[in-house]
């Protein structure tokens, strides 16, 4: 699990689908809160196209669901 001190605006992350998160996606941190972050959704599977449209390509994700993308994957 990452913490707020590990995250910075512009950081690339990945999120896996879970009970709390409706889709898997890769994104970019746009704002960091106390226990979560506002994330722009950059890439996702086509099956989630309607969900992403409903979210207007942004969502708030708790730190426990965020995984930092390796620098080599950017």
What per-residue confidence (pLDDT) applies to 71? 57
Q: Which CATH number describes the domain made up of 4-73?
A: 2.30.30.140
| Tens digit of each residue's pLDDT (9 = 90 or more) over 14-44 | 999 888 888 999 999 999 999 999 999 999 9
What per-residue confidence (pLDDT) applies to 5? 78
Mean of all residue pLDDT scores within the chain: 89
Bigger pLDDT: 55 or 5?
Answer: 55
Q: Are 7 and 27 within 8 A, CB to CB?
A: no
> Which spans in 1-74 are helix H?
49-55
- Distance between CA 74 and CA 70 in Å, rounded? 7
| pTM across the whole model | 0.84
Q: Residue ranges of the domains in the chain? A: 4-73
Whether the predicted pLDDT of 50 surpasses 80: yes
């Amino acid at each position: 699990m990452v913490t707020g001190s590990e995250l910075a605006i512009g950081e690339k992350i990945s999120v896996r689908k879970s009970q709390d998160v409706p889709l898997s996606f890769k994104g970019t941190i746009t704002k960091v809160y106390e226990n979560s972050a506002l994330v722009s959704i950059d890439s996702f599977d086509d099956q989630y196209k309607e969900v992403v449209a409903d979210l207007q390509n942004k969502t708030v994700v708790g730190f426990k669901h965020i995984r930092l993308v390796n620098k080599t994957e950017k």
